[in-house]
Each structure stands twice: as C-alpha cells, then as structure tokens.
Amino acid sequence: MAERSFSASHLPGFTVVALAVFTMLYVPIFILVANSFAVTYSASLWDGLTLDWYAKAWENEAVQSATLRSLVIALSASIIATFCATMAALGTTRRRAFKGQTLIYVMINQPLMVPEIVTAVALLIFFASIKVATGYQGLGYLIAAHSAFCIPFAYLPIRARLEGMDLSLETAAADLYASPWMTFRRVTLPILAPGIIAGAMLAFVISLDDVVITEFVKSGGQDTLPTYMMGQLRRAMTPEVNAISSVLLVLTVLLLTAFFFLTRKND
Amino acid sequence: MTNQNAVEARNVIKAFGQGTSAVRALDDVSVNIQRGEFFTLLGPSGCGKTTLLRLIAGFEMPSGGTILLEGTDITYLPPNQRPVNTVFQSYALFPHLSVAQNISFGLEMQGKPAAEVKARTDKMLALVQMEAMAGRKTSQLSGGQQQRVALARALAPQPKVLLLDEPLSALDYKLRKEMQIELKRLQHETGITFVFVTHDQEEALTMSDRVGVMSAGKLQQVGTPREIYTRPVNRFVASFIGETNFLPASVVPGGVKLGCGAVIAVEGLSGQGATTLTIRPEQVRLVDAAEAEAIPATVTNLVYFGTDTHCYLALPDGAEVVARLQSPSNGEVGLQQGQKVALRFVPGAAQVLAD
C-alpha cells in the first residue's frame, strides 16, 4: 500500500506526543476534581473521601449570592448577546454584498481580538464616569459588559448556520404567498433555531467563566462566582474552591456537549 | 370579455450592473403565453430564459417594460402577492417540514380554512402519488420523490401560472423521461398554464404546445415544436434545435446555387447574392446517380447511432453534408468510406436562412 495517503499517525513519536498533550490537558483537572473530595486541606496528602466541601460551599452565603449573581448576569448577557448576534448575522448574510463588509465582520468580532485587559480598563473608565453622572451602581454595568464580549461567540454559530442555508428556501416561501415577516417566522427562524440555541449556550458559558472584565467593572459586593473564587485563593487553597470548580466543570461540559450536537451538520 | 393571455411580457428589459459594464440579460423581450398552454422557454445557459421566469415570479424587477398576468399589470408586485407558483431547480423544499406540511404551506399562507387546507393537501398528495410519504421529512426522499413534492407544493394553491425552472435537470435519464410524461399528465389534469424553462431541446420539442427559443437576451422565435423545427427563422434556431447542415450558396433565379454548381429549388426567395442553405440530415437521401437533381458525393465517414446511421458526405467542392440513414435490421447500411454515391434533398425541405 505504497500510495496510501499521508497520515500523521505514522510519524515517529506521534503516540508519545499525543499522550503527553492529553496528560497535560487533563491531569490538572483530574487532580482538582479529586481534591474536591479529599478530607484534608493539603493538596499533597490523600487521606479519604468526603462530600463535605460540596456541602460547605452549598451552605456558604457568599457562594450562594455569587452563584446567583453569576447566573443572573450570564442569563441576561447571553439573551441580549444572542439577540444582537442574530440581528448582526441576518444583516451580514441576508443582503447584497456591500463595501466594507469585511470591516463590519471584524468589528462584530472585535472582542475576540482586542486583549481582554484593554477592554476591561476601557470599560472601567467609561462606566466610572457614568456612575458619577447617574449614581447608578447596579448589576447593569456587568450585564452590559458581558453582553458586549459575548456577541461574537453567539454570532459565529448563527452566521455559520445562516450561510449554510439554501437562499432559495426564502424565495420559495415568498413564492408561496408568505410575507417577509411570515417567511422569517415560518422558514428562516425554525431552520436557524439550532444555531441560535448553540450561540446562546456558548455565550452563557463564556459569561459564566469571565474573570478579567468582571473584576474591573464590578462595584463593591458584586462578586461573581469566578471573582469570589479568586478572592478566596488569595488567602489559602481551599477544597471548597475545588468543589465549586468541579461543579462549574460539569455544567460547562454538559452545555458544550449539547452545543456540539446542535451544531452538527446532519440534524 | 376575458383575456386569453395568461402572461404577457411587453418590451421587457433586464440589465445587471451599471454604466458601461451593464449586461442586458433580457433585451426588449415581448411574448404572449396563452391560457392553459404548455409553453417552454428554450435556450443555452445565460440566454436569459431563467431571468424572464424570475421576472414573471416577481423574484426580480425588470429594468424596463411591463408584465401582465391575465391582463393585470404585475410588473412591480412582490412575489407573495402574485397568483403564480414556481418549481425550483433545486426543489427548495423546506427541510424542517414534512411532505404534507410542505404542500400545505402555500395554502396556509393564503389563509385558507384548516379543513380546506387538509382536503387540498390530501388531493395533491394523491395527484403526485405520494400519500404514503405524507409524514416523511423531505431529506428522506429520493430525487424523483422530492420533485413530486415540489410540484404538488406549487400546484396546491391553484396558481394561474406554474413556472418550472429546469426542474428535470437533476434527474437521471430514465427518471427524466418518466417525469416528462408525468408533467404533461399534471398539466392536462389541472388545466393550469405551465411555463417551463429548459436548455434541453428534446425536452422542449416533446412536451410543449409552443416553444420560445432564446439567445443572448432576445427571443429568437416563438412557435409550435413543428414550426421551430421545420421552419427555423434564423441560423441560431436551426442549429440549436436538432442537427442540421449549413451550405454556402448564392441566389439564382428559382433557387440557390451551391458551391459545386448544383441548383436547389427554394420557394419564396428574396434578395440576391451569397446566402446559407440549410437542410436537416433526415431530409438528405442517397439516390441513383442517374436520377434528376442528383448531386455526386463521396462517403467520408459513417457513425452508427443504433436506430440511425450518420453518413458524412463530401460534395465535389469539398462542402460537407450529413445524411441520417435508418439502420437496417442487421445494422449495416451497405456503404464504405471513400465510396462514390449520389444524394438528393427532399423537395421543399431545404431553406435559406437569415444569419
């Protein structure tokens, strides 16, 4: 079989490199999860299994309020971002090509390219002046900031779905007496739905996980789960934080698995 | 008084692009399509036939001219307000809906009562013999079945005109033949005016009541299949529809003179000087050299096509003529390359064409 096509798996050392990479990726996570069940504080000693840390985290009022705040922000931000992303995706695919289309595309995806710390500092200054002017101190700033950086994550799967859609379907709907609104509601939207749901889930996970921008934008007493955990770690390693991380890990894996199935081509 | 024209296009122009780079996809096209007829727009790709169809459907607006539907001006009406439906080349079936939901879509959008939608959908499913597939997703259907659903979906709202954009081009030869017969049956049973776009001249000839031959954005000729085949108005139509021989000739009293000196009688000639004579291969006969008006020729090649054999002949001046001979039962026409023969054109079959 001399003419067999090139296969990377036949390169020398392929197996070793692959195993090393997967080890580096997953061993730390495995240790984190294992430690969340450990009896003692020490990360190096192993002396038994317990669910105490989960119970402790669950009962901790600071964790409860941070979790609730994280969920409120992630839910609001993912809904707003997905709505904006859907409009943007329709606007960039359902019209004739125009000059500066690439520029618009880059601008929508700006949060993917601009360093997060730059956005964080910019938002800090911008929101500070609004805070002074209006006196408003609420969660609105965090929701606005999260919505903004979640847009590209919601936009990409929606746009991919729209571009994969046969344009003659919308023409056919118009031919069959559907008004532009009915064409959107009965044809475009149902076909787009998996992309919208996938985009919303991705935005949700990204928002839930954010530290940098949240840390800069939040007012006093507005800790989200990740910033709370970071605050705890400044003092000492606690298996409680491991427990929270493990729960976040499970939640994220579940959402991303659902995302994978939604964006698969043949549904 | 009712208008006998289902569709009337008056001086329709469609230009794409702007300024000096503008291209006229349709250049002053006027045509009347009568009620209940099977009308075919035939032409090579890029001739403007699909553009004309899209203007009738309302997917695009003309740059000039008027389009009338049963006497009413619909030139700038959006597609959802035209009682015209389309069968798309790609079928464009809604992937998220079942076969029955696809068929009922147009009826629902028209706001028909549920009972009527159900009854008409069932009738359409029966018409295209897809009752057993009503609940299936369209992705589970074969190409031929998708074609039937697309037809049923477009026919369900009982349009005044059904537009078909090369609907058979994606099907294999055998299925295409079946669907040609099926389309004729559907047109006969529904009585709806069909406007069919194709680049396949055989399809156009076998299915149509009338054919409009298009080239370079212009309608070259409109007529029955027999008219356009036997009496093409110009060289393009003659060469696009079927096969034909072109021979340089000059006009003489009573007919035209070929390069080899033979004079062919052609009626109704006007003008003089150089011209082109056309004769279909099946109108060329091999005859005895002693026969009147026989032209001597040499066999240069023989190509076997099953029912026919094409015999390539060289006239004394070198001009080439193809004769289509019916193959005998053993397949041998009894000719050989280089053999000296004589040919004759069937009287009245040869024509002089404008270029």
The answer to whether the CB of B87 falls within 8 A of the CB of B165 is yes
Nearest Cα residue to B35 out of B5, B11, B13: B5
Question: How close does chain B come to A69, measured CA to CA in Å?
Answer: 38
CB contact under 8 A, A176 and B106: yes
Chain A residue with minimum CA distance to B80: A177
- Per CB-CB distance under 8 Å, the chain B contacts of A168 are 88, 90, 92
pTM comes to 0.80
Coil/strand/helix, residue A115:
coil
When the pLDDT of each residue in chain A is averaged and rounded to a whole number, the result is: 86
| Neighboring chain A residues of B95 at a CB cutoff of 8 Å | 169, 191
Q: How far apart are the first and last CA of chain A?
A: 36
Contact: B80, A175; criterion CB under 8 Å: yes
Q: Do A168 and B110 touch (CB under 8 A)?
A: no
- Cβ separation A168–B106 shorter than 8 A: no
Question: B174 touching A, CB under 8 A?
Answer: no
Here the tokens at position A169 are 């379907």
Report which listed range, A1-15, A51-65, A73-87, is most confident.
A73-87
Rg from Cα positions in chain A: 23
Phi-psi region of A239 (alpha: psi -120 to 50; beta: other; left: phi over 0): alpha
Asked if A177 and B109 come within 8 Å (Cβ–Cβ), the reply is yes
Contact between B228 and B237 under an 8 Å Cβ cutoff? The reply is yes
Q: A118-161 pLDDT, tens per residue?
A: 999 999 999 999 988 988 888 899 999 999 999 999 999 999 99
Taking CA atoms, B258 is separated from B276, B319, B323, in Å, by 9, 9, 17
The mean per-residue pLDDT over the stretch A210-235 comes to 88
Q: Which of B58, B78, B92 sits opposite A172 (nearest CB)?
A: B92
Contacts of A171 in chain B (CB under 8 A): 59, 79, 88, 92
CA B94 to chain A, closest CA, distance in angstroms equals 6
For tokens 């427990």, what's the residue? A243
The answer to whether B153 contacts A190, with C-beta atoms less than 8 Å apart, is no
Q: A91 — contact with chain B (CB < 8 Å)?
A: no
Taking an 8 Å cut-off on Cβ atoms, the answer to whether B157 and A172 are in contact is no
Query: How many beta carbons lie within 10 A of that of residue A62, not counting itself?
Result: 12
Restricting to A residues 173-212, those with a Cβ less than 8 Å away from any Cβ of B are: 173-179, 182, 186-187, 190-191
Res A84: pLDDT: 95
The tens-digit pLDDT sequence of chain B (355 residues) is: 456 789 999 999 999 887 777 788 899 999 999 999 999 999 998 899 999 999 999 999 999 999 999 989 999 999 999 999 999 998 999 999 999 999 999 999 999 999 999 999 999 999 888 889 999 999 889 888 999 999 999 999 999 999 999 988 878 888 888 888 888 988 998 899 999 999 998 889 989 999 999 999 999 999 999 999 988 888 899 989 988 999 988 888 878 888 888 888 887 677 777 888 899 999 999 888 888 888 999 999 999 888 899 999 999 888 899 999 988 888 788 888 888 999 999 888 888 886 5
- Regarding an ipTM greater than 0.85, the answer is no
Contact (CB<8Å) A176/B59: no
Chain A contact for B62 (CB, 8 A cutoff) = no
Cβ distance of B86 and A175 shorter than 8 Å: yes
Residues of B in contact with A181 (CB under 8 A): none
pLDDT of residue A266: 47
Give the whole-angstrom CA distance, residue A75 versus residue A207. 9
Q: Which residue, among A176, A189, A196, would best test binding to B if mutated, counting the most B CBs under 10 Å from its CB?
A: A176
Interface of A with B in 120-179 (CB under 8 A): 166, 168-169, 171-179
Per-residue pLDDT, B294: 87
Which chain B residues are Cβ-neighbours of A174 within 8 angstroms? Answer: 58-59, 78-80
The reported pLDDT for the residue numbered A42 is: 57
- pLDDT tens profile A39-71: 765 555 566 777 778 888 888 888 889 999 999
- Asked if the C-beta of A258 comes within 8 angstroms of chain B's C-beta atoms, the answer is no
How would you classify residue A65: left for phi > 0, otherwise alpha for psi between -120 and 50, otherwise beta? Answer: alpha
Three-class SS of chain B: CCCCEEEEEEEEEEEECCHHHCEEEEEEEEEEEECCCEEEEECCCCCCHHHHHHHHHCCCCCCEEEEEECCEECCCCCHHHCCEEEECCCCCCCCCCEHHHHHHHHHHHCCCCHHHHHHHHHHHHHHCCCHHHCCCEHHHCCHHHHHHHHHHHHHCCCCCEEEEECCCCCCCHHHHHHHHHHHHHHHHHHCCEEEEEECCHHHHHHHCCEEEEEECCEEEEEECHHHHHHCCCEHHHHHHCCCCEEEEEEEECCEEEECCCCEEECCCCCCCEEEEEEECHHHEEEECCCCCCCEEEEEEEEEECCCEEEEEEECCCCCEEEEEEECCCCCCCCCCCCCEEEEEECCCCCEEEEC
Residue of A166, A176, A182 with shortest CB distance to B90: A166
Nearest to A171 among B59, B154, B157 (CB): B59
How many angstroms away from the CA of A255 is the closest CA of chain B? 24
Specify the pLDDT at position A108. Answer: 85
> Position of tokens 């009347």?
B32
A173 to chain B, closest Cα gap in Å: 8
Q: Which residue of A has its CA nearest to B85?
A: A175
